[in-house]
Amino acid sequence: MAASHLTALQEELGSAPPRGLAALSEEEIAELAGALRERKEDQALALKQAGDKAFGQIPRLLRGPVKKMVLRG
């Protein structure tokens, strides 16, 4: 089981961090978790902005069928 100070990292990873990271201090773990969180947030923002722009680039005639396919499921 991961050491308790690894919890923040586990939340960002979505799975247990490698045990060797228990050698890090609480501050260092928080710093590493923060770096991963920032990267995830940057990427999520880039993905959202890209998704918002994408439909405008599709030829008008294709927008309906494409939207149906993307939104299905």
Partner 1 sequence: MTASLEQRSEILKLARVLWVEPDSLAYLEKVDARDVKAFRLKAVDALFDDDEGALKRIADTSGHIPGGVAAKIGRKALGPVLSARITGLLEPEDAVEFAGHLPPEFLADIAVELDPRRAGGVLAAMPTDSVVEVADELQRRGEWVPMGRFLGHLPLATVAAVVATLSDEALLQIAFVLEDKKQLDDVIALLPAERHQSVIRAAAEHDLWPEALDLMAHVKKKRRRELVALAAAQDEDLLASLARSVEENGLEAELTALIELLPEEDRAAIGS
3-state secondary structure labels for all residues of the chain: CCCHHHHHHHHHHCCCCCHHHHHCCHHHHHHHHHHHHHHHHHHHHHHHHHHHHHHHHCCHHHHHHHHHHHHCC
Query: Does 63 interact with partner 1 (rule: CB under 8 A)?
Result: no
Query: What x/- string results for residues 19 through 48 when contact with partner 1 is judged by CB under 8 A?
Result: xxx-xxx--x--xx--xx-xxx-xxx-xx-
Binding site for partner 1 (CB under 8 A): 12-15, 17-21, 23-25, 28, 31-32, 35-36, 38-40, 42-44, 46-47, 49-51, 53-59, 62, 65-66, 69-73
